[in-house]
Amino acid sequence: MMSGLSFRVAECEDCEEILLALRLLAESLGVPARLKSTREDIETAGFGPRREFSVMLAEVDGKIAAICLYFPMFSSWMGKPGLYIQDLFVHEEFRSTRIGEKLLRHVARAASNDGYHYLRLTVDHGNQAGARFYLRHGFEPANDETSYRLYSPAFEKFCRSGN
The mean pLDDT of 91-114, rounded to a whole number, is 96
Domain residue ranges in the chain = 5-160
Q: Residue 125's pLDDT is what?
A: 86
Share the mean pLDDT of the chain. 94
Q: Which helix (H) or strand (E) holds 57?
A: strand 54-60
- The pLDDT tens digits for 52-99 are 999 999 999 999 999 999 999 999 999 999 999 999 999 999 999 999
Instruction: Give the CATH fold of the 5-160 domain.
Output: Aminopeptidase (3.40.630)
pLDDT(1) > 60: no
- The pLDDT tens digits for 128-137 are 999 999 999 9
Question: What is the value of pTM for the model shown?
Answer: 0.92
Helix (H/G/I), strand (E/B), else coil: 101 = helix
The pLDDT-based confidence of 48 (bands split at 50, 70, 90) is: very high
On whether the CB atoms of residues 60 and 4 are closer than 8 A, the answer is yes
On whether the CB atoms of residues 159 and 151 are closer than 8 A, the answer is no
Q: How far is CA 34 from CA 22, 26, 29, 152, in A?
A: 11, 7, 10, 13
pLDDT(2) > 70: no
User: What residues contact residue 88 under an 8 Å CB cut-off, 6+ apart?
Assistant: 66, 67, 68, 69, 100, 103, 104, 121, 130
